[in-house]
Amino acid sequence: MTDHLISRSSSHETVVRKDAKYVMQNYGRQPLVLESGSGCMVRDIDGNEYIDCVAGIAVNNVGHSHPKLVEAIKKQAEKLMHVSNIYYTVPQAELAEKLVQLTGMSRVFFCNSGTEAVEAAMKLARAKTGKTEFVAVEHAFHGRTMGALSLTYKEMYRAPFKPLVQEEKFVPSNDAQAVADAITGKTAAVIVEPIQGEGGINIHSDAYLKEVRKICDDTGTLLIFDEVQTGFGRTGKWFCKEHSGVEPDIMTMAKAMAGGFPMGAIAAREGISFERGQHAATFGGNPLACAAALASIDIIEKEGLLGHATEMGNYFMNRLKKIPLEGVVDVRGRGLMIGVELDRKCADIVDFAMKKGVLLNCTSEKVLRIAPPLVITKEQIDSVVAVLEQA
Ligand SMILES: *Cc1c(COP(=O)(O)O)cnc(C)c1O
C-alpha cells in the first residue's frame, strides 16, 4: 500500500481550522477528514482510501452506506421522518416485534444512544426494585451522562463532574465473589458488559456470568447486560449473551443498532417494564431510525453476517496469533470484536497504520481495537495483518 497524507488539499486544512476554531475541543482527533465510504472502506477528502477497522466504534456493522440501508432511509424520509410518541407508527411496532424475537426479552423502550439506554436501564431498575444503588465492574464503560457516568470506571471521565448519581462501587472483572460481597440491601442492579469494549476488550467468562446470574437471583438483585457495543452481530451472535446462555433482566443496545443512524434501546424480561409516564424520549423510536434499524437487521440476516463475523473473526485472530508481532502481549476477542494488547502505548502503531491505509484505534491505551464492518473480506484482513507486521 502507498503512503498517505503526503499531500494536503486546502480543504483538509480548512476543515481542521474550522474545527479548531468553532468546535469544543473535547475530541482528540486523528488528522483525517473522512468524506465517503463503501463496505469496509472509507475515503478521505484527498481521495486516499482506508480499510476501516474502527467502523465508527463498532457501529457500521453492515458496512458504510450499504445500498439497502440507504434505500430504506430514503424511502422512509420521503414518507414520514418524525412524529411524537403520542401516536403509533408502523416501523416502531415492527422493530419492537423484531427486537423481542432477537433478544428473547418481553418488551422494549426506544431511545437515541448508548448512554441514554443505560440511563433508561438505571431508571427502570430503580423503579422496579425501589432500591437506589448499582454495582459495576472495574474498567467498565457505560456512557457519559450523569447516571451512566457514575457506572463508568475511568477516574479521568468522572473527576470533573462529581458528585455523580452514586459514589464508586466497582468490583474486579471475572470475580463473582466480589459481586456477592458488594451487593447490599440498597442494590437495585448489577451491570456488566459481557465483553468490555472501551475497557480493553476484556472477556467475561461464561462461568462468571452464570455465577453472577445466580447471585442476583439469590439476592433479588436485577442483572443488566450492557450490549451497546457487543450487539447486532459484533461477536458473531445477535447478542453476546447468547455465548453464555445467561439471560439478563434488562439489556441495553445502541451503536450498530440502526447501521449508523443514531439509535438506542433497552429490552427487559416479562414483568419488568416502565409504567405510563415513567420515562420518555422525543426522538425515541422515530420512524426514520426504526426504518434504518429494520433494514440493518435485514441485511445482517440476508447476508449471513453472523456466520461471516464468526469466520472472519477466527481467521483474523489466528493470523494475528501466528505472526510474531513485536510487543504483543495478548490477542483476544469474539467474532469481530478483537483486542491486541501490547506492552506499550499503541498510539504510534495507530499513526503508522493510518499512513499505510488502515484505520485502527486504541482502547485503554495499550489495546489495539479491531472492530471492522462485519462485511470485511479475507483479502482485507490480509492487508491489515501485513500493515501490522510492518509496524
Ligand atoms: C459506547 C458505549 C456506551 C455509550 O454509548 P453512546 O452512544 O456513546 O452514549 C455505553 N455502553 C457501552 C458498552 C458502550 O460501548
51-91 confidence digits (pLDDT tens): 999 999 999 999 999 999 999 999 999 999 999 999 999 99
346 pLDDT higher than 70: yes
Cα 296 to the center of its chain, rounded Å: 15
Confirm whether residue 282 is marked as ligand binding.
yes
Residue 286: which residues within 8 A CB-CB, separation 6 or more? 81, 82, 83, 89, 92
State residue 332's pLDDT score: 97
What is 67-302's CATH number, 3.40.50.10490, 3.90.1150.10, 3.40.50.1820, 3.40.640.10? 3.40.640.10
Q: What is the DSSP string of 203-256?
A: EPPHHHHHHHHHHHHHHT-EEEEE-TTTTTTTTSSSSTHHHHTPPPSEEEE-GG
- Answer yes or no: is pLDDT of 134 > 60: yes
- Scan for cell 472502506, then name that residue: 41
- Asked whether residue 284 is marked as a ligand-binding residue, the answer is no
Ligand 1 centre and the CA of 118: distance in Å? 8
Average pLDDT, the chain: 96
Residue extent(s) of CATH 3.90.1150.10 domains in the chain:
304-375
- Residue 9 predicted with pLDDT over 70: no
Residues 142-169, mean pLDDT to the nearest whole number: 96
User: Annotated binding residue at 144?
Assistant: yes
Query: Is the pLDDT confidence value at 143 over 90?
Result: yes
Query: Is 227 assigned to a binding site?
Result: yes
**Nearest 5 degrees, angle CA 50-CA 329-CA 338?**
40
Which residue's alpha carbon is nearest to atom 11 within ligand 1?
142
The Å distance, Cα 26 to ligand 1 centre, comes to 17
Residue 177 predicted with pLDDT over 50: yes
Q: Start-end ranges of CATH 3.40.640.10 in the chain?
A: 67-302
Cell numbers describing residue 342: 501490547
On whether 252 is known to bind a ligand per the annotation, the reply is: no
pLDDT tens readout for residues 221-247? 999 999 999 999 999 999 999 999 999
Asked if the model's pLDDT at residue 325 lies above 90, the reply is: no
pLDDT of residue 4: 56
pLDDT category of residue 8 using cuts at 50, 70 and 90: low
Using a pLDDT cut of 90, give the percent of the chain over it. Answer: 94
Banded model confidence at residue 326, pLDDT cuts 50, 70, 90: confident
pLDDT bin (cut points 50, 70, 90) of residue 324 is confident
* Residue of 54, 112, 141 to test ligand 1 pocket, by largest number of atoms within 8 Å of CB: 141
Q: In this structure, are strands 187-192 and 133-137 parallel, antiparallel, or unpaired?
A: parallel
Q: Is the pLDDT of residue 7 over 60?
A: no
Strand segments, DSSP code E, in 291-385 are 328-334, 337-342, 358-359, 361-363, 367-370
Candidate from 115, 145, 192, 363 with most ligand 1 atoms within 8 A of CB, to mutate: 115
Pocket of ligand 1 (CB under 6 A): 113-115, 118, 141-143, 193, 197-198, 226, 228-229, 254-255
Residue 241 amino acid letter:
K
Whether the pLDDT of residue 330 is over 50: the answer is yes
Q: What is the mean pLDDT of residues 23-40?
A: 97
pLDDT attached to residue 192 = 98
Query: Which atom of ligand 1 lies at the shortest distance from residue 145's CA?
Result: 9
Q: Is 104 annotated to bind ligand?
A: no
Helix or strand run (H / E) with residue 196: strand 195-196
How many whole angstroms from 346 Cα to the centroid of ligand 1?
22
Of 229, 230, 361, which is best to mutate to test ligand 1, by the most ligand atoms within 8 angstroms of its C-beta? 229
Distance 72 CA to ligand 1 centre (A): 25
For the stretch 180-215, pLDDT in tens is 999 999 999 999 999 999 999 999 999 999 999 999
Question: What is residue 364's predicted lDDT score, i.e. its pLDDT?
Answer: 87
Lowest mean pLDDT among 3-7, 28-32, 132-136, 142-146: 3-7
Q: Which phi and psi angles does 145 have, rounded to 5°?
A: -75, 165
The three-state secondary structure class of 369 is strand
* C-alpha cell recorded at residue 227: 450490549
The one-letter amino acid code at 44 reads: D
pLDDT computed for residue 55 by the predictor: 98
196 is in an annotated binding site: no
Ligand 1: centre distance to CA 144 (Å)? 8
DSSP helix/strand/coil, 34 = strand
330 is in an annotated binding site: no
Instruction: Return phi, psi of residue 64, to 5°.
Output: -75, 135
Query: 58 C-alpha vs ligand 1 centroid, how far in Å?
Result: 10
Question: What does the pLDDT read at residue 1?
Answer: 46
Q: Using an 8 Å Cβ cutoff, are 334 and 374 in contact?
A: no
Q: What is the pLDDT of residue 227?
A: 98
How many whole angstroms from 197 Cα to the centroid of ligand 1? Answer: 9
Taking the centre of ligand 1 as the mean of its atom positions, its distance from the CA of residue 193, in whole angstroms, is 10
Check whether domain 304-375 has CATH 3.90.1150.10, yes or no: yes
